[in-house]
Structure 1
Amino acid sequence: MSRVTTPAPADKGGQYRRVPRSLHPVAWWLWAIGLATAVSRTSNPLLLLLVLAVLGYVVSARRGDAPWARAFKYYLWLALTVITIRVVFRAVFATGTTPDDHILFALPHLPTPDWYAGIQIGGPVSLEAVLSAAIDGLRLACMLCCIGAANTLANPKRALRILPGALYELGVAVTVALSVAPQLVESVQRVARARRLRAGRSRGLRALRSIAIPVLEDALERALRLAAAMDSRGYGRTGTATARTRRITAALMLLGMIGLCAGVYGLLDATAPRLLGFPTLLGGAVLCCAGLALGSRRVSRTSYRPDPWAIPEWIVAGCGVASAVLLVLTTNFNAAEVNPSLYPLTWPPLPLLPTVAILVAASAAVAAPPPPRPTNRAGGIAPPPARRATKTETEPTKVTP
């Protein structure tokens, strides 16, 4: 029987638009890891701020209505906290100043013992030290926001289905851990909204008790529902693997991990023999793949409606990888613009190629399909909100005889 395909719905202009669907979670994670890799190669504050702008644009354009899709702003607050802590620690635990520094203020100096040499508590704080700490904190904040964007855009539960059977239990633990923070955020928002409806007047620390207890109760109920759902779906049931197969799997994984570690060491150490580099790394990867394939036999599970990997997934993942590759190449050939110095204190440049590399990652908002709209109880697409009638529409019409 041939498969019947239905075309995408058309708008008023007669042009067809893309069918809303969820992008493959691995594509979003590859895109975010590529951006995080690009961030790790630069200390230019203009490029770091551009990365934050790209993350905000893509998240606002392609996030869905799931609970974890509303958690990106909390990652932004976490990023601001990281920058503040980094600046405060740099100001308190000063490392000395140079004659070319611009002194902002001076903190009370506390004497330190001889074994604590090199770091002083208090003293003069220079503008260069504050800017250096702020840039370091901004780089770490951008990395956190990259991970937060991937956690916001990708469905962690759908990512669990693509893991091999040998990593299924570890994947469940990681999935539950990644979904805890968004669910707690949703619980806090729901409890706060209920308190406002009940005219709750307590603020600050006084409201902590009335918010924390319902949130903890909701977390316990979620844990019980998750345990019941996992038990009803047969989680934990093993296949026909014998004890001998499990021992062989463990030996393959152990030897493979040793090979990977030795291969990475051989690639990083220029004095190591050649056989300890790429050949050992390749052999370790082969052993790990064999162990994963053999260990997958003991987990029996099915996949219902697997996520497709189509052209949008290739484009989104390629945008992140391209950004990382271009930043690495630029760092190797022109490191002064990507990592500007604070001596002398000048405005940082905006290099062309790294800027284009970061803007390439922003095209993921156009390449990715729109997220699916929420459905009503009948299973159809929820209608748009009703338009409020104007005064002339509500007035009765006068009929003249």
Structure 2
Amino acid sequence: MTAVSAVLRAPLATRANALHAGAWWLWALGLATAASRTTNPLLLALLVAVAGYVVAARRTDAPWARAFGFYLALGAFVVVLRVVFAVALGSPIGGTTLLVTLPEVPLPDWAAGVRIGGRVMAEGVVFAALDGLRLAALLVCLGAANALANPARLLKSLPGALYEIGVAVVVAMTFAPQLVTDVLRMRAARRLRGRRDRGARSFLEVARPVLEGALERSVALAAAMDARGYGRTADVPPAVRRATGALTLGGLVGVCAGSYGLLAAEGAVYGLPLLLAGVAAALGGLVLGGRRTVRTRYRPDRWGVRAWLVAGSGAVVAAVMAYAAGAAGADAAALNPPAVPLTAPRLPVLPAVGVLVGLLPALVAPRPAVGAVGR
């Protein structure tokens, strides 16, 4: 036992032992999948707490790592907005507990079924808050992946056929955190000079240098990509191009049809074979499409034991939640507490223990060195 703990003890992160960026995304997707299966506020709060603790323990000082707070604020905004819509526009959930009666705006006959104002029921507000909290938890889980995974290193691991799309996604993912960093830096500079950093006038004075910096970074990025031969493709036979398009399109159609078959009761027989065939065809299209991309990988990231543990912990969280949702019993009922009638949520033991497995990356993932900005 001592030998196993010594092997799994988290070392300081270096370029040689850095965790694969894909492991962080698989872990976060596992947590997001678990969040999508429940509206229990206790479990959703536990998922957010697990994601936040892992981010606090393993994030670096890189610009993208500072965006986690933005996702928390975005999640809170989603909950508030969902409740405001339920109060102002009504909720499909009935109820008997009247909170307040708002002035109702009369609408024409063609808008039957839609109202603005009127009676606000506690059950509808609670249902909207729980639904918004589930979406907020999904955003926070994906924000944790953005804060922990280096986008540039994740791009290196993509298949060749997805390289150009991946570059666009990575640029989009890194632009927002850098924009937030520039705004904070400009506001700090204004405070040091004795100027106001709040108000509309201050915002306009800060916005100009921030946009100028963003434009300069865009020009520098375009020049660097052009110098490295970005967009250059290899010559492949026309038959290979046609086969690539057919496999990719057919694979996507198969995935869509198979997913629909699994969700529909009458399509359960053909759903899984179609899904597997679609995935296989899409993978074949990606492999053939990668032959058009002429690029090399310098020091590719390794998928080691710690990456398996991190990704596996997210898979365990999702699997335990899916098992609890499908099993008949008190745990399944506690995952989605009813809003009508109003009942206090109960913390189911098995799903809660499964969510706590998501804390494993805080123990096994390499610890970022002090002052590390990501590699």
Is TM > 0.5 for Structure 1 vs Structure 2? yes
The 2-side partners of 1:353 and 1:171 are apart by 38
The 1-side partners of 2:48 and 2:259 are apart by 32
RMSD: 2.1
Aligned residues: 360
Q: 1:268 to 1:76 in 2, by over 3 A?
A: closer
SS of residue matched to 2:266: coil
Q: 1:113 to 1:224 in 2, by over 3 A?
A: same
Moved more, 111-120 or 168-177: 111-120
Q: 1:304 to 1:36 in 2, by over 3 A?
A: same
Question: Which residue of structure 2 lines up, in the alignment, with residue 323 of structure 1?
Answer: 317
AA aligned to 1:303 is: R
- The within-5 A match list for 1:376-391 is none
Q: Is the 8 A contact 1:95 1:118 kept in 2?
A: no
- The within-5 A match list for 1:18-97 is 18-21=11-14, 22-95=18-91
Q: 1:160 to 1:332 in 2, by over 3 A?
A: same
- Deviation (angstroms), 1:259: 2.6
The answer on 1:106 being equivalent to 2:101 is yes
Question: Which residue of structure 2 lines up, in the alignment, with residue 136 of structure 1?
Answer: 131
User: Which of 1 and 2 has greater Rg?
Assistant: 1
Question: Which residue of structure 2 lines up, in the alignment, with residue 204 of structure 1?
Answer: 199
- Deviation (angstroms), 1:30: 0.6
Q: Is the 8 A contact 2:191 2:197 kept in 1?
A: no
AA aligned to 2:241 is: R
| One of 244, 250, 254 as aligned partner of 2:249 | 254
The 2-side partners of 1:38 and 1:103 are apart by 33
AA aligned to 2:137 is: C
- Deviation (angstroms), 1:308: 1.5
Tell me the TM-score normalized by structure 1.
0.84
- Structure 1 residue ranges without an equivalent (≥5): 1-15, 377-401
Q: Is the 8 A contact 2:23 2:311 kept in 1?
A: yes
Q: 1:126 to 1:266 in 2, by over 3 A?
A: closer
Question: Which residue of structure 2 lines up, in the alignment, with residue 289 of structure 1?
Answer: 283
- Structure 2 residue ranges without an equivalent (≥5): 1-8
- Deviation (angstroms), 1:117: 2.5
- The within-5 A match list for 1:156-167 is 156-167=151-162
Question: Which of structures 1 and 2 has the larger relative contact order (alpha carbons within 8 angstroms, sep 6+)?
Answer: 2
- The within-5 A match list for 1:241-390 is 241-272=236-267, 274=269, 276-333=270-327, 334=329, 335-374=332-371
Q: Is the 8 A contact 1:95 1:119 kept in 2?
A: no
The 2-side partners of 1:294 and 1:308 are apart by 23
- Deviation (angstroms), 1:97: 7.7
AA aligned to 2:152 is: K
The answer on 1:191 being equivalent to 2:186 is yes
AA aligned to 2:154 is: A
- Deviation (angstroms), 1:250: 1.6
- Deviation (angstroms), 1:375: 6.7
- Deviation (angstroms), 1:95: 3.7
SS of residue matched to 2:116: strand
Question: Which residue of structure 1 lines up, in the alignment, with residue 6 of structure 2?
Answer: none
The answer on 1:234 being equivalent to 2:217 is no
Q: Is the 8 A contact 2:10 2:366 kept in 1?
A: no
The 2-side partners of 1:36 and 1:224 are apart by 36
Q: 1:75 to 1:235 in 2, by over 3 A?
A: same
